[in-house]
């Protein structure tokens, strides 16, 4: 990546705030409240704050000290919340500390990131990704200053390459690339989810590497690269991978509950989880999102998703190439959407904040866990209790 324009002290602090754990573990002892806040006002003066930093300077990384000084500089009223200071001395990550740094940056540097001049190609790409995914200018600046492409967006790229590789291998072995799913031997692949083989737990996940045809794979790959890669660049592989895999598992489990006789193929559960989360985040932060032609692009995305969903519905009820087993189900798409507008939205709305601190995150995690447990028990008992006649194994 090229060199960025030289930032001010609060901008540099803003860029590194996420990587700061404030104080080293050995400095966890907090000063007595009567020394820092003798009047019991709940605040500590910036002068006292600076003197404490000087006294602990030997225990602090020099860069951490610079950021803490930026915190003092960001408070024009000369006071810092004492509880924030206690959190720092206790080695706790504090959202209010981050917000104080950002407030200081907002006052010292009001120029929008979009107005920056003289950027090279990689810097313009990072700025473009920031405006595509983040609704607040202060977060966009923070991301632009801190992104290093290390690690790169490996998760979505790896998944996409594996899907393409499996598709090409399957196409060569079957001698068919368009509507592969209509080939009589298609379901014999050990990656496909099949209701008769639902006890083979890996199939609830590995079905993403099998696609109905090149028309199915093509749209999923395009959406994964155009939506998934920028989201991973901003939110990281862990969070985006979590949303993607949760959508995949929810998709196959939803089919096993709502379309019990049908197999499942394709990565649409994970793709629809990411795209639905991204679109919902844009709608919920409409005024803050500054991506170009956002209404037109949302319309195009919804049309593409609707066409893919319509293709899946048509295929599901088209006369099967391997009766009595029907063609793959479309319900996995709906499972992915459900994950996207719940777990996915919470992830995308909390950039650089700990998800475990968000009550809504735990509510949706609990809902997802209940659904998974329900689906597991459903798969164990319901097929027998309902005396459902399933298609024979492939």
- Please tell me the distance from the alpha carbon of residue 88 to that of residue 22, in angstroms, as a whole number: 6
Cα separation, 383 vs 261, in Å, equals 10
Is residue 324 reached through a cis peptide bond, with omega within 30 degrees of 0 on the bond before it?
A: yes
Q: What single string gives the DSSP state of each residue in 284-345?
A: HTTTT---TTHHHHHHHHHHHHHHHHHHHHHHHHSPPSBTTBPPPPSHHHHHHHHHIIIIIH
Rounded (10°) CA dihedral 298, 304, 308, 311: 130
C-alpha–C-alpha distance, residues 203 and 194, integer Å: 8
Nearest C-alpha neighbor of 316 from the set 332, 327, 305: 327
Main-chain dihedrals φ then ψ at residue 157, nearest 5 degrees: -65, -45
- Is 268 a catalytic site residue? yes
Give the integer Cα–Cα distance in Å for 212 and 175.
14
Query: Annotated catalytic residue: which of 211, 216, 235, 333?
Result: 333
Quote the distance between the C-alpha of residue 331 and its chain's center.
22
Annotated active-site residue 128? The verdict is no
Round to whole Å and give the CA distance between 381 and 141: 53
Strand stretches in 138-261, DSSP E: none
344/366 Cα distance (integer angstroms): 14
Which among 17, 53, 49, 23 has a CA at the least distance from the CA of 35? 49
The one catalytic residue among 74, 252, 268, 276: 268
Q: How many residues does the chain have?
A: 394
From CA 137, how far away is CA 134, in angstroms rounded? 8
* 175 C-beta neighbours (distance < 10 Å), count: 8
Beta partners for residue 45, in sequence order: 79
H or E stretch including 79? strand 79-81
Residue 45's SS3 state is strand
**In angstroms, rounded to a whole number, what is the distance separating the alpha carbons of residues 248 and 271?**
8
Return the active site residues.
Answer: 268, 333
């Amino acid at each position: 990546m090229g060199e960025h324009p030289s930032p001010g002290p609060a901008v540099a602090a803003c860029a590194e705030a996420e990587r700061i754990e404030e104080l080293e573990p050995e400095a966890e002892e907090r000063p007595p409240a009567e020394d820092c806040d003798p009047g019991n006002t709940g605040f500590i003066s910036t002068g006292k704050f600076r003197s404490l930093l000087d006294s602990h300077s030997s225990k602090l990384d020099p860069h951490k000290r610079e950021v803490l000084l930026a915190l003092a500089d960001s408070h024009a009223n000369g006071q810092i919340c004492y509880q924030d200071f206690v959190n720092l001395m206790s080695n706790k990550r504090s959202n209010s500390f981050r917000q104080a740094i950002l407030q200081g940056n907002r006052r010292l540097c009001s120029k929008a990131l979009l107005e920056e001049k003289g950027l090279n190609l990689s810097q313009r790409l990072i700025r473009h990704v920031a405006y595509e995914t983040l609704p607040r200018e202060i977060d966009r600046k923070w991301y632009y200053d801190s992104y290093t492409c290390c690690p790169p967006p490996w998760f979505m790229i790896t998944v996409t390459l594996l899907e393409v590789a499996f598709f090409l291998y399957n196409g060569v072995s079957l001698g068919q690339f368009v509507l592969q799913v209509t080939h009589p031997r298609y379901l014999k692949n050990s990656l496909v989810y099949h209701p008769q083989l639902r006890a083979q737990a890996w199939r609830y996940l590995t079905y993403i590497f099998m696609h109905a045809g090149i028309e199915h794979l093509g749209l999923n790959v395009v959406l994964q690269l155009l939506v998934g890669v920028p989201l991973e660049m901003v939110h990281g592989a862990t969070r985006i991978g979590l949303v993607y895999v949760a959508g995949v598992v929810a998709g196959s489990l939803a089919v096993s509950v709502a379309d019990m006789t049908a197999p499942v193929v394709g990565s649409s559960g994970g793709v629809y989880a990411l795209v639905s989360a991204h679109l919902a985040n844009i709608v919920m932060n409409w005024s803050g999102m500054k991506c170009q032609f956002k209404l037109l692009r949302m319309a195009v995305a919804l049309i593409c998703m609707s066409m893919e969903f319509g293709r899946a519905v048509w295929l599901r009820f088209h006369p099967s190439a391997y009766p009595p087993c029907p063609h793959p189900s479309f319900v996995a798409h709906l499972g992915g959407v459900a994950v996207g507008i719940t777990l996915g939205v919470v992830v995308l709305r909390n950039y650089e904040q700990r998800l475990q601190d968000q009550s809504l995150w735990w509510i949706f995690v609990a809902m997802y866990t209940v659904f998974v447990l329900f689906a597991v028990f459903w798969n164990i008992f319901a097929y027998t209790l309902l005396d459902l006649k399933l298609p024979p194994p492939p």
